[in-house]
Each structure stands twice: as C-alpha cells, then as structure tokens.
Amino acid sequence: MESKLKLYGFNNLTKALSFNIYDVCYAKTYKEQQDYIAYIDEQYNAERLTGILLQVVEMIGANVLSISSQDYDPQGASVTLLISEGPMATVRGGTTLAHLDKSHVTVHTYPEYHPENSIATFRVDIDVATCGEITPLNTLDLLIGSFDSDIITMDYRVRGFTRDVNGKKLFMDHEIASIQDYINPKILEGYEAVDINLEGSNIFHTKMLIRELDLQNYLFQSDATILSPQAQAAILESLRREMVEIYSGRNIY
C-alpha cells in the first residue's frame, strides 16, 4: 500500500491495541507480600502511569483533550486520556474544536498475590484506541520497557472501513502480518513468542513469555546468595509454573 492513501472524506478506520503485562515476584511471607503490593502501588501510581500514557500519546502524534486519573484503596490505579488525532483550535468562549476523530488511552493496574505459594503478581492493562491514520503499534517498545514485563499479551484490531477517491472500500490502510514486526528484535530475543492471527478479519494476537529467569530479580526483600541450591531451584520452579499458567491462560499444575 502507498504510505499516503488518497481518500474520499475522512479516514474512519478504528484501530485498537490491548496490551497486558504481568510482573511476577516471589514474596515468601504475608508481610513480604503486603510490602510488595505497597511497593508496586507506589512505583506505578496514577501520576507515573499518566506520564507513561503521555509518552504514548506523543509517540502517536495525538493531542490530549482531557486526563482523568485515580489511585485506589487498598491498591491499584487507573488513568484515562481522551485524545484527538487532528489539530485543535480554541474559539471565542474557550471552546475547543477538534476533528471527529476522538480516541482514548487507558491504563489499569491489578496487584495481587497467591494465598499459598508465595507468588505475587502485578498486572497492567493498557488500551489505545485511535480513529484515522494513526496506529498505536509503534508504542510497543516503550510499553514493554516501561514495566517489568515477564508475560505480555497483545491484541490489535482494525474495524470499519474508509473509501478511496473512487468509492472503493478500504478495510485496512497499513501493512501488517504480525504484531511482532513492530517490536525491536533485541527485545524479542528475550522472549518466547507466538501469534494467533485472523488476517482476513484484521485481528492480530501475540503473547510473549520471558526466556531466562535471574532469581535475584524475582526475590522481594531477600538475597538469593543465602539460599541453598535446592531452595533456589524450588523457587525458580514455582515462578516458572506461575508464568506458564498465565501465559497459557489455563491451570496446568
């Protein structure tokens, strides 16, 4: 396809990216689990999440119309940005005008822990919905790098149609075979990745599982060097089992 399509009227294709990451941690005691939840809640509070989403909006070349953010008790946070791809103008009375291409970016966090196996997880859900020429796929490297991403699931969908100047319907305005094509190869090297794509329906799904586990990175308030080899192996097995089940989307063990 040409990089710039000649259209009749407005490009009203809707593009939606759902990005989910899971950070897994080993917290042995109830207190460590509570401390981990508190730590995550502080590290990824609404203010920091807003900063990440503002970077996303800047990368896709959109304009922020409004911001809504909230931290929750006992844990979690949400941020929603209403955005516009087109230029904005302020007229008399302070009214803001924008093209009819309103879209949004949202993020929600879900810290939680397993009641028995000393595993705590932190899930982040980010949705980027755009309307028009902009695609959110170029933000994937930023999103992956903004969090400790052990498991990642991504869904990308293009809906609706637009028309060229001859009236022909266009159901896609950019080339895509896999979401992985939009991720830095250096990042992909660290993950096992699999696609489930329905190209005829413009639905693309990719999920990723981190390959190598450095135990110290997964211990909260603990030192791996004081653990016996047997204890280290048992913890790594517990972490890997948790990750595999999340990655597979079903209970296996």
Average the pLDDT over each of 44-48, 89-93, 181-185, 239-243 and give the range with the smallest value: 89-93
Tell me whether residue 206 is in a domain. Answer: yes
Q: 108, 118, 149, 238: which one is catalytic?
A: 108
* % of the chain beyond a pLDDT of 90: 57
pLDDT at 101: 53
Q: What is the CATH number for 201?
A: 3.60.90.10
Tell me whether residue 208 is in a domain. Answer: yes
Tell me whether residue 3 is in a domain. Answer: no
Average pLDDT over residues 167-184: 91
State the pTM of this model: 0.85
Tell me whether residue 180 is in a domain. Answer: yes
**pLDDT tens-digit map of 113-130:** 777 778 889 999 999 998
**Known active-site residue 131:** yes
Provide the pLDDT confidence category of residue 6 given band limits of 50, 70 and 90: low
pLDDT at 98: 45
Tell me whether residue 80 is in a domain. Answer: yes
Q: 25, 131, 149, 238: which one is catalytic?
A: 131
Q: 103, 118, 149, 238: which one is catalytic?
A: 103
- Count of structural domains within the chain: 1
Tell me whether residue 9 is in a domain. Answer: no
Average pLDDT over residues 229-240: 94
Tell me whether residue 170 is in a domain. Answer: yes
Compute the distance between CA of residue 253 and CA of residue 251 in angstroms, rounded to an integer: 6
**Known active-site residue 174:** no
**Known active-site residue 108:** yes
Tell me whether residue 8 is in a domain. Answer: no
Which residue range forms the structural domain that includes residue 39? 14-248
What DSSP assignment string belongs to 3-45? SS--BSS----EEEEEEEEEEEEE--SHHHHHHHHHHHHHHT-
